[in-house]
Amino acid sequence: MKDFHTKVFSGRPAAHGIGIGKVWTLRDESSAVHPEKIAESDIEKHIGKFEKARELVSSEYEKLKYIPEDEELEEIIDAQIQTLYDPEVTSSVKSKIEKDQFAVEYAIFSTFNDYIQLMENSGSAWAKDRTIDIVSVRDELIRATKEKKKGYAVKKGEIVFAEEISPTAMVYLSRINIAGIVMEKGGLTSHAVILSQSLGIPCVINVHWNRYNIYDGSDVIIDGTTGQVIINPTWKQKEQYKRRREDEQKRFEKALEWANKPDKTECGSQFTLRANIEFLEELPRLNTHGAKGIGLLRTETVLFDSEKFNVEQQVEFYGKVLEAAGQNSVTIRLFDAGGDKILDDSSFEDNPFLGWRGVRMLLDKRKLLRNQLEAIYRVSGHFSGKVKILIPMVSRIDEIRSVKEICTNVMKNLARQDIPFDENISIGVMVEVPSIALMSEFVAKYVDFFSIGTNDLTQYTLAVDRGNEKISHLFDSFHPAIWRLIKITKESADKHNIPVTVCGEMASKPEAAACLLGMGINDLSMNTGSIPAVKSVLCSHTYKEMKDLSDKILETEELDQVYELLEGWRALY
């Protein structure tokens, strides 16, 4: 019997907005693929089925790329197509058919599962978030070998419930104008979440809805700002959320009006809001949303998506980003990955978050680091004074010295070749490991700036793996300990007269941004979608109001006290 009782789930907010509609469940249609053997005479036939399936799926992906309103998805779809034609994947599938005489479906299933298992076992949040991409390509290929047609029965205005959603599925679903997405799995860095933010689809993740009887067609409300999901809401709840949705839309439209206004508080104090960027397709929002340059350029995706670490390819990428930034600076974070299967010589680590990543990996793979630095210095010759280098995952001062020595060698090599470059590029560190925050007074002597990464700083300070669902509720960047570490870092920066920025998720919360500004950190970087709301709050208050807030926050002992102060401040103003 259908249950009409109201159920409320609490998940993790992933993409802003309120969705009101009917439940539609995206079922996993992939069935178990058994290791069926084939006769030797059928080998050519199964090889042919594989190649035909690959062409069909590639053709479907190509069509997705050129939807005019979805142009920003081209890079992600290209990555899916590259996976289809990956030489190692092709070789493995054909070998399983030719030598092991497995049917094509199992050859595909087995090959992709090897990669999926490696990514899941890597322990890396980045790799885990992209496992769904590989699963998607696997299932599409198997579907194509069975000559099944692709399609979703979801209707416009419905809210999709899924275990996970692949990037290509997201594109299909967005074309249907769905009202929201609820996923059991997925992290904030997964492509599905990035795309939902980009496409303006409210999204909540880590909602364990699948263990309950959730029926298609049930009324549902999702709140992508708080992470709340309400099944069978009451009439009163529906009316409340409709009003909230209208109010939020009005607030966002009003906040956008601030984009081109001066970056000054109500009392005239200057601040700067920059963008965190990963894809070229995000660049047009720099101007529309009021970003003054890029405070964090992530380089992992462009590197992983390349067949090899190509200097010229990077120069082109960095050049496009710098062009888009105009007269504003771009802070390029060095390759921040490790423990990933994607690196050819990586191996399994029991705890990769505490393992071989960031600068630790880069100093072991010097050629990789030298190539990236060469690309950055080469492009700096055309954008003098605009490029900054950010070193990730630093925990020891000697790691900074080592990177700077390599920078010096790269510059000498370029000089010998008469290649122009900016010899005064600022070099800073991500303050994301507590040891660097606590020792920041000494670290400041070796760098030109600090950039505080609040996500990892929280993870390492609170000893909470933010990708572990069992304890992720303990992950909270507003913890008093984090505010104190930020204060220590700011005081050290002031003592040595170097700038400090915050580029973590914390800066995208308006009240937190106000508190950071009250602490004297007037350079913040965040996703472009958050800039208008943050700017409207900062412009609407005086520096004294924000300093009063930060002074009180820094006196708190417990997390609840922080939230009480932030909520009180929000209500007061």
Distance separating alpha carbons of residues 562 and 573, to the nearest angstrom: 17
Whether the per-residue pLDDT at 271 is higher than 60: the answer is: yes
pLDDT category at 341 given cuts 50, 70, 90 is very low
pTM attached to this predicted model: 0.68
Residue 273: closest CA among 516, 512, 521, 535: 535
Query: What is the token pair recorded at 368?
Result: 């990789």
Give the containing element (helix H, strand E) for 449. Answer: strand 449-452
Give the pLDDT confidence score for residue 340 in this predicted structure: 39
End-to-end CA distance of the chain: 48
The pLDDT of residue 221 is 95
Cα–Cα distance for residue pair 505/502, rounded to 1 Å: 9
Of the two residues 429 and 226, the one the predictor is more confident about is: 429
Q: Which of 9, 6, 12 is nearest to 236 (CA)?
A: 6
Average pLDDT, the chain: 85
Question: For residue 383, how far is the Cα from the chain centroid?
Answer: 27
pLDDT of amino acid 79:
74
- pLDDT of residue 227 exceeding 50, the answer is yes
- The token duo for 81 is 């197509």
Tell me the percentage of the chain whose pLDDT exceeds 90. Answer: 46
- Are 258 and 532 contacting, i.e. CB atoms less than 8 angstroms apart? yes
DSSP 223-266: ETTTTEEEES--HHHHHHHHHHHHHHHHHHHHHHTTTTS-SB-T
CA–CA distance, 545 with 483 (Å, rounded to integer): 18
Q: For residues 277 and 321, is the Cβ–Cβ distance under 8 A?
A: yes
Mind listing the pLDDT tens digit for each residue in 291-311? 999 999 988 766 665 555 588
> Lowest mean pLDDT: which of 12-16, 164-168, 211-215?
164-168
Q: How confident is the model over 508-566, as pLDDT tens digits? A: 889 999 999 999 999 999 988 789 889 999 999 999 999 999 999 999 999 999 999 99
**Residue 26's closest CA among 152, 146, 188, 132?**
152
Distance CA 494, CA 511 (A): 23
Beginning with the edge strand found earlier in the chain, give each strand of the sheet holding 7-10 in spatial order. Answer: 7-10, 228-231, 219-223, 18-25, 159-162, 180-183, 203-205, 12-15
pLDDT tens-digit series, residues 27-74: 765 556 778 888 888 888 889 888 888 888 887 777 666 554 445 556
Torsion angle defined by CA atoms of residues 460, 463, 468 and 471, in that order, rounded to the nearest 10 degrees = -140
Distance CA(59)–CA(461), nearest Å, equals 47
Of 424, 426, 476, 479, which Cα lies nearest the Cα of 451? 426
**In contact, 314 and 302? CB cutoff 8 Å:** yes
> Is the confidence at residue 123, as pLDDT, over 70?
no
